[in-house]
Amino acid sequence: MVKTETGLYDMKKVLMKNTLQIVLLLVFCVIGKLAAQPVYEKTNSAPGEFSRMGFLPRGIAMGNATSAVIEGQLSSFYNPAVAVFQNKNSAQAAFSVLSLDRSLNYLSFTRRFDFYSSRDTGANRTPRSSAGFSAGVIASGVSDIDGRDNQGFKTEALSTSQNLYFFSFANRFSKKVAIGVTVKIYYYKLYKDVTSTGTGFDFGAIYKATDNLAFAATFMDINAKYKWDTSPIYGTDGTATTADFPLTIKLGSSYIFRFDDNSSLLTALELESNNLGRRLIRAGAEYQFMPELTLRAGLDNFVMGNADELLQPSGGFALRNPMFGVDAGIDYTFAFEQYSQSLRHTIGLSVVF
C-alpha cells in the first residue's frame, strides 16, 4: 500500500490533535490537584492536640516513635509501661521554641522500685518483681491574641493555656512482660471564666522478646473529654457542649544493635490509629557514638491515605557527662512543623541519680 503526501499530512494532523488533547488534560489535572481543597484531617483540631505534638527532645528527634523504647532516658507519657524500665531516678525538663506566640514546656520525675525475695541474700540478687512510678506536667499556651469587640475595635491582648498533669504506675510481672496505666488530668483555660477540666486514662504493655528487641501496645485518652459551659459570658444564651478526645491505639517496636560497650544503634517504628480515621506511621533512630555523644533522627506524621498531610522530619543530639554519681545531660532537637514558617526547637535537661 502506497501512502500519499495527503494521507501522511492527515495522520500528522490527527497525532498533533491527540497530543494536544493529552497535554491539556494533564495540565488541567495538575491545576485541579493544586487548586483542590486539602483533605481535612479531623485529629488536628480534636481536643488535646498539644499533648500529641511531642515534648521531649529525645522523643521528637526520633519521630515520637518511642512507645517501645525501654533504654536510656524514658518518658511514661508515650507508654506507661516503660516507667518500670528506667534505671535509678530520672528527672527531665524541656521547653520548646515555637512560632505564632505558642509555648510548650515539660517536667517529669520517674523512679523504679525493685522487690527482692527474703530468701535471696546473695551479692548479685535478682529482683522478684519491679514497679515504676512517674509524674509530670505538660504546659502549653498561646499568648498575644488580638482581642476585638463586635464592632471590630481592638480591646486587649488575650491568651489561652492548657495544662496536663499525669501519674503513671507500672509493674513488671516477668522478665518479658510489663503493664502500666497513666492517669491524666487536663485543664483548659479558654477565655476568662470559660474553663474545663477532664480526666483520661492510658494503658500500655511492653513485651521484651530479647535483650535487643521489644514490642509495645498503648491505648490513649480513654474517657478523656472537655465539658464546656459558656453561660458565665453569655448568660441564658450560653450553651453546654462536650468535646471527646480521640481514642488512640499505638503499636510499636524497637531494636538495638550493640557494636561494643560504648556504641550502639537504636531503631524504633510505630503505627498509630484512632477513632477519627487517622492512620499514621512514625520511625526514628538513635546512634550512640560514645557514652558522651548521641545523634538522633526521625520521621513523624506519615499519614496513610492523606497526601495533603506533610511529613515532619526531625533530628538532634544529646551530650552527657557522668560525674559524682550523677548522669547529667543536655539534649537539643529541631523538627519541621506542618503549618509553621520556621522550625521547632526543643532543649532539654536530664539527670539520672
Residue type, 317: F
Q: Which of 270, 264, 213, 218 is nearest to 70 (CA)?
A: 213
DSSP 23-36: HHHHHHHHHHHHHS
DSSP 190-248: EETTEEEEEEEEEEEEEEE-SSSEEEEEEEEEET-EEEEE-HHHHGGG--EEEEEPPPE
Q: Which of 59, 82, 80 is nearest to 71 (CA)?
A: 82
User: Given this model, what pLDDT does residue 146 score?
Assistant: 87
3-state SS class at 182: strand
User: Given this model, what pLDDT does residue 273 score?
Assistant: 96
User: Given this model, what pLDDT does residue 151 score?
Assistant: 83
Going along the chain from its start, the domains and CATH numbers come out as 48-120+127-352 (2.40.160.60)
* Distance, C-alpha 215 to centroid of its chain: 18
Helix or strand holding residue 6 (H, E): helix 5-35
3-state SS class at 115: strand
136 φ, ψ (degrees, to nearest 5): -165, 175
Rounded to whole angstroms, the Cα distance separating 139 from 55 reads: 10
Cell of 300: 513523624
With a cut of 50, which residues of the chain have pLDDT below it?
1-3, 32-36
Rounded to whole angstroms, the Cα distance separating 68 from 252 reads: 5
Residues shown for the chain: 353
Q: Which value, in Å, is the radius of gyration of the alpha carbons in the chain?
A: 26
Q: Which of 300, 208, 294, 290 is nearest to 254 (CA)?
A: 208
Which residues are CB-contacts of 322 (< 8 A; sequence separation ≥ 6)? 291, 328
Look up residue 292 and give its DSSP letter: T
* Residue that the C-alpha cell 500500655 belongs to: 204
User: Given this model, what pLDDT does residue 1 score?
Assistant: 46
User: Given this model, what pLDDT does residue 33 score?
Assistant: 46
Residue type, 17: K
User: Given this model, what pLDDT does residue 208 score?
Assistant: 96
User: Given this model, what pLDDT does residue 34 score?
Assistant: 44
Strand-pair category, 102-115 with 89-97: antiparallel
Rounded to whole angstroms, the Cα distance separating 187 from 352 reads: 29
Q: Residue 214's CB: how many other CB atoms inside 10 A?
A: 25
Q: Which of 274, 345, 343, 272 is nearest to 302 (CA)?
A: 272
Contact (Cβ atoms closer than 8 angstroms) between residue 185 and residue 165: yes
Rounded to whole angstroms, the Cα distance separating 321 from 277 reads: 44
* Distance, C-alpha 347 to centroid of its chain: 16
pLDDT, tens only, 203-254: 999 999 999 999 999 999 999 999 999 888 888 888 999 999 999 999 999 9
pTM assigned to the model: 0.83
User: Given this model, what pLDDT does residue 27 score?
Assistant: 59
User: Given this model, what pLDDT does residue 237 score?
Assistant: 84
